Every structure is written in C-alpha cells, then in structure tokens.
Amino acid sequence: MRDGASLKKSFLEELTKAASLTEIQQIRVKYLGKKGLLTSELKTLSTLPAEERRSFGKLINELKELIESEIASKESALSQEDLRKRLVSEAIDITLPGKYTPIGKEHPINKVLREITEIFVTMGFGVEEGPEVELDYYNFEALNMPKNHPARDMQDTFYITEDTVLRTHTSPVQIRGMEKRKPPLRFIVPGKVYRCDADITHTPMFHQVEGLMVDTDISFSDLKGVLEMFIHKMFSPETPVRFRPSFFPFTEPSAEVDIGCIFCKGGGCQVCKGSGWLEILGAGMVNPRVFEMVGYDPEVYTGFAFGMGVERITMLKYSIDDIRLFYENDIRFLRQF
Ligand code: PHE
C-alpha cells in the first residue's frame, strides 16, 4: 500500500455509495475493525526498516483519522436525513377535527336532584337512603298514621302484600335514620317514591327529597332559615317565601311552603292560578309521637322535617308543563338541559 492513496480512494468511493447506517457500520468494520484493512497495515509496521516506520506510522494515523471523521460526518448527515423523513411521514395534522363520541347527558331530574343535594350538603346535611319496597310500619305507622287512619287516603298506595308497600314518600327514611343514630342529626333523603296516580302533573313513580334535623333546641325559625336559604340558592335570592298552615300526621305544627310565582312575579298567571304563589314543599316540627316511636325523649329533643317533589321543582325551574315528558325518553327533550 505504501502511500495509502488507493486505500483512501476505495474507502471514499464505498462511503459515498453507502445509503444507510448499517452500510456505514459495515465499512467501519472493513477498514477499522480488528481484522480490517487499515489494522492489518498497521500490523506490518514492525516488519519495516526503522527509517520507514516513522513516516508509515504517520500515514496510517492520518488515514485512520480521515476515515473516522468521514464516517462521523456521513453518519450525522444520514441520521439528519432520517429524522427529516420521519418528521414528514409521521406528521400529524392538528387542524383535523377530532372524532366525536356521543357520551349522553345527565337526566334533568338527576341534575336537579344533584343540585338540591349539593345545597343541603353545603349546609352540613348528610345523605341517607332507604328501601323503595318498604314496610307499612315505616311508611305509615311509625309516622303516626295507624291502620285505618284517614290520612292514608291522601296517598294512593301500591301494596305489595298486607304489610309491604312501594313507599309513597321518603319520610320512612326519617324513622330508619333516627333508629340508626342518636341526636344531634341532620340529613336529607333523595329517592324514588310511588303513588297510583297519573296525569299531566303526576306519574306513578316520582322523586322526593326529605330533610330531617334533630337536636335539643331546634325551633321553627331554624326550619324557616334552612328552607329560605335553600329556596334562594335553588331559584334566586329575591324569591319571596311563604309558610302556610297545613297538616301532616308526622309534624306538628305543619306548613306548606310557597314561593312567589317565578313566571308572573306575583301578579297572577295561569301557572299559579292567579294566586301569585306556587306550592313547592311540605314541612313542620317533628311530632312528639314520632320521637316516641324511635325512643327519643320528646321532652329533650325537637326537630324539623320537610319533603319536596323533585319533578315539580324541575318543572318550575325549566317551565315544563307536562311531567310525562321526563319519562318518554325523547332525546330531543332530554338534550336541552
Ligand atoms: N311526606 C310528605 C309528603 O309526601 C311531605 C313532608 C315531609 C311533609 C316531611 C312534612 C315533613 O307529602
């Protein structure tokens, strides 16, 4: 080889042709590997006469450096080119619209149920649940409605057997909640209730939210405060609230709570039947007879209870005039909330 020119020439030719990192690696092995062309030249160094060794050694070193630097720059050029190709081929068009997956919507009743629950939870109320197939005892008897009590006629009951019913209200969970713990207590009960009734304002299944608060010194003004706070958050802070005397066997005194008509603002319209008021819930102070049924001393404890219809509140809130719309599963209706 001596001057190294032919080795250099063949190396450069091969390198120019190389089109991939693998091919370059093969060239590296061919020239610089343990049995490579340049390496074997280096091995002949010791056989040379002393005066030639120096210049030949220098030549080999220069060749080696040249080969290494040529390979390095070709490698970096190739990997840059690779990167460029990948960037082009893997490019993502971020302006393309995404794929739409319909995920459904919360039912308006569930939405309002959740809103009601959130308001009471922020006031420190817990959330209780109870069975929908309920004992006559909890649905009526423990609520001061003995068998043959005329107040039972107010609720068109679905009987399962002689002593089990589909609960007609969420009030039985008051009893179950009080049996489970000792005062002080405050909780609400969201849930389904059933009455044999159907027209534009009644469906055989509907939803109620019950509320109960018991302690040693709960008064009617606590009831007013809590319900006014609820109504002002649920509707608007300016909504007028009115308590009207009423009757429930399990509360004494009892009241029906009205809000100023949200449609005519009190002037009188079709929805409020000209009265300017809309009834939205029933409430009262827990009847001492009820405390006796759960073993609380009525001389020590007082409390209030209330119950509201979720469908009614939803209909008022969204100006819906037919309750059956909630349960027809018409997606065009349900999508609007
Ligand atoms: N349970 C009664 C109803 O369904 C409402 C109510 C609950 C009234 C609690 C007073 C206290 O009509």
**Which residues are 278's β-sheet partners?**
259
Q: What is the pLDDT of residue 29?
A: 93
How far apart CA 265 and CA 240 sit, in angstroms, is 9
CATH 3.90.79.10, domain 108-334, yes or no: no
**From the CA of 189, how far away is ligand 1's center (Å)?**
12
Atom of ligand 1 nearest to the CA of 174: 9
Query: What 3-state DSSP class applies to 77?
Result: helix
CB 119 within 8 A of CB 230: yes
C-beta of residue 27 within 8 angstroms of C-beta of residue 71: yes
CB contact at 8 A, 274 and 290 = no
pLDDT tens figures, 61-77: 899 999 999 999 999 99
Q: Is 191 helix (H, G, I), strand (E, B) or coil?
A: strand
Per-residue pLDDT of 215-252, as tens digits, reads 999 999 999 999 999 999 999 999 999 999 999 999 99
pTM: 0.72
178 CA distance to ligand 1 centroid (A)? 16
**Mean pLDDT of the region 175-191:** 97
195 CB near ligand 1 (under 6 Å): no
CB-ligand 1 contact for 307 (6 Å cutoff): yes
Cβ 206 vs Cβ 314: under 8 Å: no
Tokens found for residue 85: 């190709």
pLDDT for 111-169, tens place per residue? Answer: 999 999 999 999 999 999 999 999 999 999 999 999 888 877 767 899 999 899 999 99
The answer, yes or no, to whether residue 214 has pLDDT greater than 90, is yes
Is any ligand 1 atom within 6 A of the Cβ of residue 189? Answer: no
* 136 CA to centre of ligand 1 in angstroms: 16
CA dist 47 and 36 (Å) reads: 18
Ligand 1 contact via 285 beta carbon (within 6 Å): no
